[in-house]
Amino acid sequence: MHKPQSFYQEVLLDAIPDPTLLNSVRLISGGTMNQSVLLETDKGSFFLKSNHLPSSDVFVQEIKGLTLLHKHSPLQIPKTIGAGRIGDQNYILIEWIHGGYPNENYWFDLGRGLAELHIATAPQFGLEEDNYIAILPQKNNFHPSWSEFYTEERLEPMIGKAYYDGLVNKAFYKKFQTIYPKLEALMPKEKPALLHGDLWSGNVIVNKKGHPCLIDPAVYYGHREMDLAFSKLFGGFRTEFYEAYNDVFPLEPGFEERADIHNLYPLLVHLNLFGLSYLPGIKKVVNKYL
């Protein structure tokens, strides 16, 4: 359901310095989390996403994530126009990416582009600010080791939320925590890599020239296998993508066996967002490593 026309006019006035004429609005998607629309204006086409979350910085952090990706990735990242809050609604306004069909180099370009992104590094795992994955807060306190970061900033907050919200019982919560001491030995030792953070097929779109474009990041400096594992969780990435990635930045042997432990985080995110249908997958991974 569309918002009042006045809301879109207010967004354009807030985000664009010069007066902008709104020609039309087209609903792209509407759900419990966000509403997305295409705004056609006399200054071009814009993608607008909005929600009613009480957190007023959710899209401000998304802007920062897109900006960081743009700085370090050769892949197309939508240009950011503005983000803010109008009344009780948060919004983000970005460049509209005119769609097309993947060209013959699409998967190779995506693999090489992600590898180049992951080459960007930092002294520790984390990020200067906390941000969000979808609409869930994502803590990014710095840690010197990946296992420590993964435990304290990713797994424990999400399983803790699931327990608090009644999605898991106390027995499983305690069982889940017994994985933490095993993580250090399971993960290859690598430098922190700049991650997209929410890399599934829905967050990679095709531009009009057939090139890949990254959207909706949840960035931080983490273990690069997180992005690669997430790309396998819901399918949609072809073999050429992984081949091209390995040509630029080869993975350590055994990645396929480690992917499940990395995917505990996105599975927990989905459990907290969408409910109990994701719990059997989490339990399967936990039982695999205990």
pLDDT of residue 66: 97
Mean per-residue pLDDT for 220-228? 98
CATH of domain 5-95: 3.30.200.20
Confidence band, pLDDT 50/70/90 cuts, at residue 154: very high
pLDDT of residue 55: 81
- Residue 19: name the closest of 29, 31, 5, 9 by CA: 9
Q: Convert the pLDDT of each residue in 48-98 to its tens digit.
A: 999 998 888 999 999 999 999 999 999 999 999 999 999 999 999 999 999
- The DSSP-derived string for 88-126 is TEEEEEEE---B----TTHHHHHHHHHHHHHH---SSBB
Residue 137 in this model has a pLDDT that exceeds 90: yes
Mean per-residue pLDDT for 185-196? 97
Strand residues in the chain grouped as ranges (E)? 22-30, 35-41, 44-51, 80-86, 89-95, 131-133, 136-138, 193-195, 204-206, 212-214, 220-222
Is 168 within 8 Å of 159 (Cβ atoms)?
yes
Residue 1 in this model has a pLDDT that exceeds 90: no
pLDDT of residue 76: 97
Residue 12 in this model has a pLDDT that exceeds 80: yes
pLDDT of residue 198: 98
Residue 2 in this model has a pLDDT that exceeds 70: no
Number of other residues whose CB lies within 10 A of the CB of residue 247: 12
Mean per-residue pLDDT for 156-182? 98
Q: Which of 57, 109, 198, 260 is catalytic?
A: 198
pTM of the model: 0.95
198 carries an active-site annotation: yes
CATH of domain 106-289: 3.90.1200.10
Residue 200 in this model has a pLDDT that exceeds 70: yes
Confidence band, pLDDT 50/70/90 cuts, at residue 30: confident
Cβ within 8 Å of residue 257, ≥6 positions away: none
Residue ranges covered by each domain of the chain: 5-95, 106-289
Rounded CA gap, 185 and 196, in Å?
A: 25
- Is the four-CA dihedral 121, 125, 131, 134 of positive or negative sign? positive
| Two domains, one topology: 5-95 and 106-289 | no
